Amino acid sequence: MQVKKDIIAVMNVESNLDLRLFSTMRLGGRARHVAKIKNKDDIFEAEKFARENNLKIIVIGSGSNIIWKDSGFNGLLLVNEIPGIDIEDLHDHKILKVGAGVNWDEFVEKTVQMNLSGVEALSRIPGKVGATPIQNVGAYGQEVSQTIVTIEAYDTKTNQYVNIKNEDCGFGYRTSRFKTEDKNRYIITEITFKLQKDFPNLPLYPAVENYFLDNNILVTDPKTIRLAVINIRKNKLPDPSEVANNGSFFANPIITSEHFQSLQNKFQNISYWETGDGHYKISAAWLIEHAGFKNYKDDETGMSTWTSQPLVLVNESAKSTQDLLKFKQKITSKILEMFEINLEQEPELLP
């Protein structure tokens, strides 16, 4: 294929790159083209380059919630590196406009240093700011949608920049319109957050509350909560820069009350939450553990489950995404057979 040299010179497109560099699971084939985007001009150029060369575009942050197929990506992969944090100080809150390529946890740290409240419980979640609305990241009682005012994005349908208000983002539990009806339509470039100066005395999430009790901590300001969450997460989850993984690999399944009753008759200690609408959310970690995959190493595929959290699948020595999918199949088949539950995968398989 003939590619336009002038565009490559400006935007620095690289070709035939190993996609394992762009997923924290470190598996997958090769990308035809990859470019880093650092500003709006880069996006216009990338879009033009893709149009002229008839290429599909995928934009990513740090690759912590994606897995690449072994067949690779025959298009243009854009890695979002748009920087910048602008802060406006208002009387009881601050408005922060943050570039989509800013590292999420560095942003959280900055907000906590300013003693602002709103995202402190989302500490140590890997990835970049621009990816957080896609699945409405959440942890320890906070969700990013609670602090987002607007999202600035390039609309690849109309070739224009748009500002999407919070109420138009279709946010729900681990979802948004960017993951569903408008998947791959928008390139998110900047997010505006509203964070509070006053720290509301909200009930703490049980794991954080227990940490405070165990460590005799009485102050519940954003800094203390961040520190607690970091310590809890360090003990429970592997660091993707050291251990290849995508965090929780399966979502907690939601089942009907009849299904739940029949399971509870057989498994008295099943771990669950009531959803409030007559359904039951079952702990996927409990299911995996009780299906025999706690602290499990699979020699055939080179995959394992993480010692302190079986919901995390770890690539120890897998050779391909096929190996990971084979291991996933072993787990899901056993769970289907034992509990009649179909576990759903959380990280996205691309393209």
Ligand X SMILES: Cc1cc2nc3c(=O)[nH]c(=O)nc-3n(C[C@H](O)[C@H](O)[C@H](O)COP(=O)(O)OP(=O)(O)OC[C@H]3O[C@@H](n4cnc5c(N)ncnc54)[C@H](O)[C@@H]3O)c2cc1C
Judged by CB under 6 A, the chain residues 130 through 149 that form the site for ligand X are 130-132, 134-135, 137-139
CB 29, CB 75: distance < 8 Å: no
CB 135, CB 145: distance < 8 Å: no
Applying CB under 6 A, the site for ligand X has a residue count of: 33
Nearer to ligand X, 54 or 241 (CB): 241
| Choices 162-170, 201-209, 245-253, 314-322 (CB under 6 A): range interacting with ligand X | 245-253
Binding of ligand X at residue 246 (CB under 6 A)? Answer: yes
Nearer to ligand X, 184 or 275 (CB): 184
Is residue 124 part of the annotated active site? The answer reads no
Burial class (CB in 10 A: 0-12, 13-18, 19+), 167: exposed
Binding of ligand X at residue 34 (CB under 6 A)? Answer: no
Q: Which of 187, 195, 325, 331 binds ligand X (CB under 6 A)?
A: 187
| Choices 55-63, 109-117, 165-173, 217-225 (CB under 6 A): range interacting with ligand X | 55-63
Q: Kind and range of the H or E element at 94?
A: strand 93-99
Cα 62 to Cα 3, 129, 136, distances in angstroms? 26, 10, 16
CB 350, CB 179: distance < 8 Å: no
Question: Exposure pattern of 28-67 as b/e (b: 16+ CB <10 Å)?
Answer: bbbbbbbbbbbeeebbebbbebbeebebebbbbbbbbbbb
CB 106, min distance to ligand X, A: 12
Is residue 174 part of the annotated active site? The answer reads yes
Binding of ligand X at residue 321 (CB under 6 A)? Answer: no
Binding of ligand X at residue 62 (CB under 6 A)? Answer: yes
Binding of ligand X at residue 60 (CB under 6 A)? Answer: yes
Is residue 190 part of the annotated active site? The answer reads no
What does 240-292 look like in DSSP terms, one character per residue?
A: TTTS-EEEE-BPPPEE-HHHHHHHHHH-TT--EEE-SSS-EEE-HHHHHIIII
| Choices 2-10, 56-64, 69-77, 111-119 (CB under 6 A): range interacting with ligand X | 56-64
Tokens representing residue 43 in the block: 């996006």
Q: Which of 28, 72, 99, 240 binds ligand X (CB under 6 A)?
A: 240
**Antiparallel, parallel or unpaired: β 303-306 and 297-298:** antiparallel
Cα 264 to the center of its chain, rounded Å: 31
Binding of ligand X at residue 43 (CB under 6 A)? Answer: no
Nearer to ligand X, 237 or 324 (CB): 237
Q: Which of 11, 24, 49, 321 binds ligand X (CB under 6 A)?
A: 24
CB 188, min distance to ligand X, A: 3
If you count them, how many residues does the chain have? Answer: 351
State how far the Cα of 76 lies from the Cα of 98, in Å rounded to an integer: 25
Binding site for ligand X (CB under 6 A): 24, 58-66, 80, 100, 125-128, 130-132, 134-135, 137-139, 186-188, 237, 240, 245-247, 348
Residues with a known catalytic role:
174, 248, 346
